[in-house]
Structure 1
Amino acid sequence: MRTLGLIGGTSWHSTIVYYRLINEMAGKRTGTQANPPLILYSLNVELMREHDVDKIKTTYLHIARQLEIAGARAIVICANTPHLVYDYVHDKISIPILHIADAVGIEAQRKGFKKLGLLGTRPTMRGDFLHKRLKDKFGIKTIVPEEDFQDEIHHYIASELTQGKFTESAKSFFLDHIQLLKEKGAQAVIMGCTELPILINNEDTDLPLLQSTNLHAKMAVDFIFHTEESP
């Protein structure tokens, strides 16, 4: 098994989900309780709340280099929004960063989806780090809620979900927006915030949900078990 570096902490709730999923999926591969080699760096959520993009980029680069020195063979960023640092960090280290958009794109292609709705933080919905990669690499169009609603969506995520508050009002709110995305032509919806799958699952809606966290964790486990001799 290859050692994986995890950058978590933007919400410790999401970090726990990643850690649990990777260990559970790895256990199913081996048929034992043996856990894979992981190096976890958990940073303070306040970094993201400062909205200082340059500081975020340099911090993630510093952490990525530390994980590489510690022996990680690849890096997983345990959240969607921090992937905004991908282009800045990726070329400055010698190990790969497993991009969450690739995990989503592979699954969407497998299921034949060409138009996906996206729910996430304001930077995730308005930035191009998911949209552009899905379009350029997989030919997938991404649509988001109307701009008037994006601040409210971000508020729910930042003020409730990342604080471990998963209320019925939040669930109802996001289910309404899933329906609106369906009406705009979405064939499925990317749950582009690590905490969203904790709030809503596939049984809650008739529109397919692409749980980015689960798909990203699967990509991580595929990397862990991939051998140098594998095609």
Structure 2
Amino acid sequence: MTTIGLIGGMSWESTAVYYRLLNEGVRQRQGGLHSADLLLHSLDFAPIAEMQSSGNWASAGAAMAESARRLERAGVGCILLCTNTMHKLADKITTATNVPFLHLADVTAKAIRKSASRRPLLLATRFTMEQDFYRDRLAAFGVEAVVPDVAERNDVHRIIYEELCQGRVEPASKARYLEIVADALKRGADGVILGCTEITLLVSQADFAVPVFDTTALHVEAALDFGLEAESQAA
């Protein structure tokens, strides 16, 4: 398969999930001892998180662009940005490189369009829930993402940064997420987007009766499709 480039580390907890799922996917598709051909640039998340909280998106964008250029110089065939939030800066990557970039929101929107859901609840960082960059991308595909109320958004965001990004999976936090989803379903939501890669550590489709869109798993499947198709075309 073509080499898949990963911009990760934001946080490394979720990047580890990407690594595992990509390798499991190749083994499932190709069998035997096959594993994924990957190059990972894992950034230090602390300065990136500080850029996020201070609104210094220019510096964060420069970091994303430089990471992408490093992967391009190393010869990757496509690039995955292993974080939903930093897709706010996807254009910095696409303008800095000539390597195909698999946009996470596009992959998610296409999966939603194949389901009966059209008004899924978006669970994510505060940046992703409150800013337009992600919801507008979904809207371009006819998906109207809804978000929790302010207090609920604060809890969703806090749990991501203070617990999940630090490897803590707390039963009370899972119960809070389930409560937030139940409230959204009463208000007309018809699905759930796990719109932060760490959220998959806390809840999954098994927790809900409505469709759940695991953005990490969807991103991985799109990358495997791309990588294996590129390999077959080159053969």
1:31-56 CA-partner distances (Å, limit 9, x unpaired): 22211210000001113321221111
Structure 2: which amino acid aligns with 1:212?
Answer: T
2:65 to 61, 64, 70: 61
Deviation at 1:186, TM superposition (A): 1.4
Could you say which residue in structure 1 is the equivalent of 2:22?
Answer: 22
| Conserved 8 A contact 2:112-2:118 | yes
Select the structure that is richer in helix: 2
How many residues are aligned here?
229
- What is the match of residue 183 of structure 2? 180
Unaligned segments of structure 2, at least 5 residues: none
Q: Distance in 2 between matches of 1:139 and 1:91?
A: 26
User: Which amino acid in structure 1 is aligned with residue 208 of structure 2?
Assistant: T
Equivalent residue number for residue 85 of structure 1: 89
> Is 1:38 aligned with 2:28?
no
Root-mean-square deviation over aligned CA pairs: 1.4
Q: Which of these residues, 152, 155, 173, is aligned with residue 155 of structure 2? A: 152
Q: What is the aligned-residue identity percentage?
A: 35
The amino acid that maps onto 1:114 is R
Aligned residue among 162, 172, 181 for 1:169: 172
Q: Aligned to 2:6, what secondary structure does the other structure show?
A: strand
Alpha-carbon contact 2:124-2:196 (below 8 Å) kept: yes
Task: Answer yes or no: is the 8 Å Cα contact 1:36–1:224 preserved in 2.
Answer: no
Q: CA deviation at 1:125?
A: 0.5
Which residue pairs with 1:112 in the alignment?
A: 116
- C-alpha displacement at 1:107, in angstroms? 1.0
Select which of 143, 157, 162 maps to 1:140. Answer: 143
Q: Work out whether 1:193 is the aligned partner of 2:196.
A: yes
- CA–CA distance in 2 between the matches of 1:61 and 1:197? 26
TM-score (norm 1): 0.95
Q: Is the 8 A contact 1:80 1:124 kept in 2?
A: yes
Q: Which runs of 5+ in 1 are unaligned?
A: none
CA distance in 1, matches of 2:169, 2:16: 16
Does the aligned pair in 1 maintain the 2:68–2:96 contact within 8 Å?
no
Q: Which segments of structure 1 move beyond 6 Å, counting only runs of 4 or more?
A: none
Deviation at 1:150, TM superposition (A): 1.5
User: What amino acid maps onto 2:37 in structure 1?
Assistant: P
Measured after TM superposition, the shift of residue 208 of structure 1 is 1.9
TM-score by length of 2: 0.93
> 1:69, CA displacement in angstroms?
0.5
